[in-house]
Chains A and B, each alone.
Chain A
Amino acid sequence: MANAIDRKIVDDLIKNEIGFITTVPCKQLAGVIEVLDQSNQVMHVPSNKEDEGMGLCAGAYMGGKRPCIIMQNTALGVVVNTLATLIQFYQIPLPMLISYRGEVGEKVACQVEMAVHTKALLNQLAIPTYHFSHADQVGELDGILKHTQMAKKPTAILTDARFWGSAQ
C-alpha cells in the first residue's frame, strides 16, 4: 500500500522529467511501483533482469526520454558489465533507485551477503552513491536527480529498511 514517501519519490522523478522507468520489484519498493503505475506522465516498462533494464534505459535515453531504474542491491551482481560498457562508456545519466536489502532491520540473512558487497562494488565502479537511512533524507532526492543529469553518470540511491520503516 503506497504512502506519502512513495508519492514524494515519484513526484520528484516526474518533476525532474524522468519519462521512462524500468523496474525489477522489491517488497520495499512496492509502494513506489504502485504509484508509478497510477501515473500517466511516465512510461513504466518492467524488466526481467536489471541488465536488460539498463539496455531499455539506454535506448530510451537516445530516444529523448530521461530514464531511471528501480531495483534491489542484489542486482549489482548482475549489472557490473552493463554499467561499465554501456551506461558509463556512452555517458548515459541513469539514477538507480535501489532497495538496500541486508542492512539493519533486515529479516532475511541471505540478503546480508550482498549487502556487505554493495558499497564496495559501487565504490569500485566510481558511481556516486547516496545512502538513505531515515525518511527525512528523501529531501535530497531532487538534488541527486539533477546532479545525475549534469554529470551524465549512473548514480546509486540506496534506501534501507530504516529509511522505509521511518516513513511509515
Chain B
Amino acid sequence: MIRYDILKTLLPIISDTLVVCNIGLPSQELHKLDDQPSNFYMLGTMGLCSSIGLGLALSQPQKVVAIDGDGSVLTNLATLSTIANNVADNFVLLIIDNGSYGSTGDQPTYAGRKTSLTAVAEACGCENVVECSAEETAGAVKAALASDQMTVIVSKCESGNVAVDVIEMNPVVIGDRFMNEVRRQNSGG
C-alpha cells in the first residue's frame, strides 16, 4: 500500500475530524479524495505539519489529526520533543513513513534506512507511540482517537504517488474555511 491507499482507508475515520495535512502530494491527494472544511492544507513550509497540529490541539478541545510524513518530520525532528513535553490528549500525529521524499521524486529519506522515527519519538518522551503497517493504520488511528491519549503513529508503507492536481484554493480561503469549522465544532454545531 502507498500513502494514497492509506488515505482512502482513513476517510471514514477522519472525514469529520480536524486534519492538518502535510505539504505537497499528501495535501493534494487528500484534497482529491475528500475535500472538507475540516481539512487544513499546507501549501508550503516543509516540516511544520506536526507543529501546526500541536498548536491547534493545545488551543482548543476538538480532536486533531496531523497527517505528516517521514521526510517532513526529519526536517523538523525536534518537534517530537515539543510534542512529548506539551501533552495534548486530543492530538494524533500520524507519520506516513514511506521512506522517501514523495513530492520531489521519491528520493530516499534516512527514515527508510537506519533511522527509526518510532525510536526517536520514544526517546523524545512521547508516551504512546505505535508503529504499524499500512494495512493496520486506519485501525490504529481509530483506536488513538478513541483513547483520549496523545498518540504518535508511525505507519510503514510503500513509496509511491498518484497523479493529482495542485491545490488552487487561495490560502486565506483554506484558513478561513478551516477556522470557521473549528469554531463550529467548538460551539457544538
- Interface positions of A (Cβ within 8 A of B): 19-20, 43, 45-49, 51-65, 67, 81-82, 84-86, 89-92
Contacts and interface: CB of A to CB of B under 8 A. Distances in A.
A83 to B, nearest CB: 10
A73 to B, nearest CB: 21
The 9 closest A-B CB pairs, nearest first, are A59-B55, A55-B51, A63-B59, A85-B44, A55-B48, A48-B78, A59-B56, A56-B55, A63-B60
A63 B46 CA distance: 21
Contacts of B50: 55
B49 to A, nearest CB: 8
Contacts of B59: 19-20, 43, 59-60, 62-65
B174 interface: yes
Given A90-B172, A90-B174, A90-B175, A63 B82 contact: no
Interface residues of B, number: 36
Contacts of B182: 62-64
A64 B54 contact: no
B95 interface: no
Contact of B48 (A48, A52, A63): A52
Nearest to A46: B82
Which of the listed residues B57, B58, B186 has the most CB atoms from chain A within 10 Å of its own CB? Answer: B58
Contact of A59 (B44, B57, B81, B183): B57
Contacts of B42: 86
A69 to B, nearest CB: 11
B56 A63 contact: yes
